[in-house]
Structure 1
Amino acid sequence: MAFVVVGTSVGAYVVYQKLNGNIDAIDVGDAGSKSVVTDGPINILVIGTDKRTGKGNEGYGDKGSMGHADTNILFHVSEDRTNATAMSIPRDLMTEIPECETKQQDGSTTAIPGTASARFNTSLGQNGRDPGCTMKTVENITGVKPDHFMMVDFNAVKELTTAVGGVKVCMAKPIDDPKSHLKLPQGESKVQGEEALGLLRTRDSFGNRSDLDRIKVQQQFLGSMIREMKSSDTLTNPKKLYKLADAATNALTVDSAIADAKKLMTLAQEISKVDTKNITFVTMPVIDNPAEPKPVTVVVDPTKGDQLFAMMRSDTSLTEVKQKEKAAKSKQAALLKGPKAAPADVRVDVLNGGEIPGAAGSTVTWLQNEQGVLKSANKANAPEKADKTTLEYAPNQADQARALAEMMGLPATAMKQGTADAEGLEAMVLTLGADFKGAGQLITGPAKAPEGVEQARADKAVCAK
């Protein structure tokens, strides 16, 4: 939530020396990007911890918590800055937490062992894990590498909502939850401070009292806060803007690459290019944990999850799905139209021009063992790095190219047909680029969002049920 405030206030009104002193930073090493922004998409991991810092917060969260990853949103801003996807990650998601390195105060590095299966929220705080460990966990699950993180605690929620003058919310029924100190009437209200924190913390007031229902309320709240941030009343009031900027930078802990007001302003200017109507909230697709007789945790939905992650990796917008779906289907249909060779007849040399070491070898292993492409060969590293994956083939290899494109989810732009026919046993050439995220992961995502994945638009007010 704090990064949304920064995206609309710091860029408009900055007193550098004052705000610089507010910001706390953590060096996450190679878990993030060293650049503030890039020419490509921007991915920011927003973490809300359950740390009980600040006056009046003793009744929230887990007593003695070091600050776990309680509320998590992967915010993906498109390369052209026209749209953004904010994907919530359930705290009770069971997943692998990979080994990670943390920087110590004396400058040394400590390796934190990974865990084969644990709740996502323990990727922070447990065993000395820092936000860089949470970033690596997100990348491990989705194939999307976060560039930066922004972290807030309970106290930050109270300070930020007070600074903005309250956030409009709507309840489908009256709320009275003593556990979260929340009492709200049916219909519209304006909440700030303690009341706002109670709304974001409550589980017992909505739906089936699960974390997934709480996430929906958090998304509605954030959408309302974004609308408040971008309202003319806020943007034209210098005093209010400064109050917001001061509260936001006081509330934030960020990675060292963006740990000053000027860098945050640069990042904010990129984020603020996105129109509110093109910011879409979704929740990571999950299913009940099949390993539990009475499920209390969840795991990633293997089908819908992979589809949504592929869309984010390929920078496909959820707000322009219908237009992109039509265009992408047309290109993909033309690409795949026609006969496809049997896997055993596909002959391809694989080179690695991407960032993942050994990618050519792992892809050949996947092609041979999982897809039956036995005539695939590992040709090691490409002569130079490549941003995009490409498949070079001759006209008389088109049936092989179509088969391989379907297996790997290659976009039409990846297909490079030559002019001369191949001779003898000449193989096609597949060069893996920076967009390749792992063997078996589609290069491009589907043009259509997975069925059943609920979406909420930041410009639409919805009453919490």
Structure 2
Amino acid sequence: MQQDNPEVDPADQWVHDPETGRYRLDPAPGIAPQRRRVAAPPSAEGRRTAQRRAAAAKRTRRRRVLAWTAGAGALVMVVGCGGAYYLYQHFNNNLTSVDVQLGDEAERPKPAGDALNVLVLGTDSRQGLGREYGDEGSTGHADTTLLFHIAKDRSNATVISIPRDLMVPIPECRTADGKKVPGSTRDMFNNSLGQEGRDPGCTWKTVEKVTGIRVDHFVQVNFEAVKTLSTAVGGVEVCAAKDINDPDSHLRMSKGRHVVQGDDALAFVRTRHAVGFGGDLTRIPLQQQFISSMIRKIKSGDTLTSPTKLYKLADAATKALTVDSGIGSVDRLKDLALDISKVDTKNITFATVPVLDDPKDENRLVLKQPDAGHLFSMIAGDRSLTGAPTAPATPEATGAAGTPAAPAVDSKSVRVTVRNGSGTGGQAQQAVDRLRAKGFAKAATGPNAPATATSSVSYPAGHDAEAAALATALGLPGDAVRPDPKADPKGPLVLVLGKDVLTAPTPSTAATEAPKDLQRVQADDTDVCAK
């Protein structure tokens, strides 16, 4: 019986077969190969045919393994999985999957059809990393969150960053082991993961509630993944517009271009105090720059043609990755990678959710309306930020106005009292007219409310689905909806109109035009530098 040679790199046992375009396993050095019949030398025509087959196979193989990356290296894992699936089935054993509990299907946004939405969670978990990165042993929170939208025709992709300090409602959720975690009407977004035992399913539900966008899958990585993946691809080029010395992230970088990997790569994506205004919003563009460069490195480098590099990348990727059970195998990840690899790098846009400083706490953020709702509406409507033509979304995937579809409720039976807090007369009746046109036949005006900047919907216990449907009908974000524990359980929903209603976008523009002054980065832009 043959024994494996422990000194042989397993990647070196795979060699390229020019006739099939695939890799095949050859015996390790020192092991006698099987006897083969020796064929006669091929004719000139035979050599040309073999060359054509090899070239075609090489192109096919390249298409199979091309995929782009995301979330501080998270989706580069998919690249590795897609490129190495047929070589190393044992990668399945590396993967960790979670059965997310998403609750009542009727309360979720409707499916996006053939479009694809993937939630990428970069956690600040320190487990196994010692004290060097602070808070030793922390299980991690939603430190870096990106929602990847891939158009249904795969012509473009939009990646929105959700700031960790954003104040949002976190819904009640159940973890994979059945634990019930109470919700919170107002909390930091990063507490949707880790806090009180919340798992990625809780963050998934929070994103759907806040954005009105249905999530299809999630992938999660931690600090260690950034280090191992950046090393596996041979480093990632980044740029600094000035000298950077951040003692908190341990980044010391001179002005100019650098190739970072390992600890330096992690320090780069964690840096915030030494760039911009020193907060989370100035760290996000660094992460977008890093991910864009990673995408370009994978697509243009020599990683795809090296079995050894592919092996190392895929091995590091699958060990670092936690996913939902829907993509909890290398086979399914491979299919996902091949699907999203169809997007041209120039048509991948990174953007940050529009936010403002929280008037209640200068260290926190709130959604900037109507811009945030406008952006969410575009994504739900499968509209591109790059200008790439996209087939319009189907009515099943979005509301009639291109806004996120509401949970399934009988709007005709929902009682709504509309109060005007905008400071401009006549707004309550106009809102009632719009609601009745949308099927809310029992909408009625109520007394004026004190002046307020933002519109909101409050609801009695047990009427959260109706409140979500009302907010969606008006294009309001998820954090505009809040329970009223003092309300009569049999009472109506209460819609308070704020000053934002005076500048709300019309339905015709909400699904087609990006908000003005939206922060964005194109994945093919090589001139982006940390400032």
Task: Specify the TM-score bucket, using the shorter chain as the normaliser.
Answer: 0.7 to 0.9
Superposition deviation, residue 128 in structure 1: 1.2
2:150 matched residue in structure 1: 77
TM-score, normalising length: structure 1: 0.74
User: CA 1:30–1:277 in structure 2 vs 1: closer, same or farther (change >3 Å)?
Assistant: same
Q: How does 1:136-215 map to 2 (within 5 A)?
A: 136-215=205-284
Partner amino acid, structure 2, of 1:229: I
Superposition deviation, residue 159 in structure 1: 0.7
User: CA 1:165–1:54 in structure 2 vs 1: closer, same or farther (change >3 Å)?
Assistant: farther
Any conservation in 2 of the 1:51–1:61 contact (CA below 8 Å)?
no
Any conservation in 2 of the 1:172–1:187 contact (CA below 8 Å)?
yes
Any conservation in 1 of the 2:406–2:473 contact (CA below 8 Å)?
no
Superposition deviation, residue 174 in structure 1: 1.5
Any conservation in 2 of the 1:81–1:271 contact (CA below 8 Å)?
yes
SS at match of 2:180: strand
Larger CA deviation: 20-29 vs 371-380: 371-380
Match of 1:313 among 355, 371, 380: 380
Match of 1:371 among 423, 428, 432: 432
1:112 matched residue in structure 2: 181
Partner amino acid, structure 2, of 1:84: A
SS at match of 1:75: strand
User: CA 1:80–1:247 in structure 2 vs 1: closer, same or farther (change >3 Å)?
Assistant: same
User: CA 1:18–1:362 in structure 2 vs 1: closer, same or farther (change >3 Å)?
Assistant: farther
SS at match of 2:363: coil
Match of 2:198 among 101, 125, 129: 129
Q: How does 1:11-30 map to 2 (within 5 A)?
A: 11-14=82-85, 15-30=87-102
User: CA 1:362–1:207 in structure 2 vs 1: closer, same or farther (change >3 Å)?
Assistant: farther
Partner amino acid, structure 2, of 1:49: T
- Per-residue displacement from partner, 1:111-139 (whole Å, max 9, x unpaired)? 21100111000000011110000011111
User: CA 1:203–1:61 in structure 2 vs 1: closer, same or farther (change >3 Å)?
Assistant: farther
Q: Which ranges of structure 2 fall in alignment gaps of 5 or more residues?
A: 1-70, 106-110, 393-404, 419-427, 442-468, 476-506
Partner amino acid, structure 2, of 1:371: V
User: CA 1:374–1:257 in structure 2 vs 1: closer, same or farther (change >3 Å)?
Assistant: closer
Matched positions, count: 373
Superposition deviation, residue 377 in structure 1: 8.8
Q: Which ranges of structure 1 fall in alignment gaps of 5 or more residues?
A: 329-353, 381-434
User: CA 1:268–1:363 in structure 2 vs 1: closer, same or farther (change >3 Å)?
Assistant: farther
2:511 matched residue in structure 1: 446
SS at match of 1:58: helix
SS at match of 1:76: strand
| Alignment partner of 1:225 is 2:303 | no
User: CA 1:32–1:210 in structure 2 vs 1: closer, same or farther (change >3 Å)?
Assistant: farther
Superposition deviation, residue 290 in structure 1: 1.1
2:329 matched residue in structure 1: 260
Q: How does 1:404-419 map to 2 (within 5 A)?
A: none
| Alignment partner of 1:464 is 2:527 | no
Equivalents in 2 of 1:221, 1:261: separation in Å? Answer: 25
Equivalents in 1 of 2:294, 2:413: separation in Å? Answer: 45
Q: How does 1:314-329 map to 2 (within 5 A)?
A: 314-320=381-387
Equivalents in 1 of 2:305, 2:343: separation in Å? Answer: 19
Equivalents in 2 of 1:307, 1:183: separation in Å? Answer: 38
SS at match of 1:318: coil
Whose radius of gyration is greater, 1 or 2?
Answer: 2
SS at match of 1:358: coil
User: CA 1:359–1:148 in structure 2 vs 1: closer, same or farther (change >3 Å)?
Assistant: farther
- Per-residue displacement from partner, 1:230-261 (whole Å, max 9, x unpaired)? 11412222221121111111110001111110
2:125 matched residue in structure 1: 51
Partner amino acid, structure 1, of 2:79: T
- Per-residue displacement from partner, 1:377-416 (whole Å, max 9, x unpaired)? 9599xxxxxxxxxxxxxxxxxxxxxxxxxxxxxxxxxxxx
2:76 matched residue in structure 1: 5
Superposition deviation, residue 63 in structure 1: 4.4
Moved over 6 A (4+): 366-369
- Per-residue displacement from partner, 1:30-62 (whole Å, max 9, x unpaired)? 3799xxx9851111111111110234x523254
Partner amino acid, structure 2, of 1:215: I
1:290 matched residue in structure 2: 359
Identity over aligned residues, as a percent? 48
Superposition deviation, residue 439 in structure 1: 2.3
Equivalents in 2 of 1:281, 1:54: separation in Å? Answer: 31
- Per-residue displacement from partner, 1:249-302 (whole Å, max 9, x unpaired)? 11100011111100000111111010111110000100000112xx00000112
User: CA 1:377–1:183 in structure 2 vs 1: closer, same or farther (change >3 Å)?
Assistant: closer
Equivalents in 2 of 1:29, 1:48: separation in Å? Answer: 20
2:411 matched residue in structure 1: 360
Any conservation in 2 of the 1:364–1:377 contact (CA below 8 Å)?
no
Aligned CA-pair RMSD? 2.8
Partner amino acid, structure 2, of 1:308: L
SS at match of 1:180: coil
Superposition deviation, residue 27 in structure 1: 0.7
Superposition deviation, residue 13 in structure 1: 2.0
User: CA 1:146–1:443 in structure 2 vs 1: closer, same or farther (change >3 Å)?
Assistant: farther
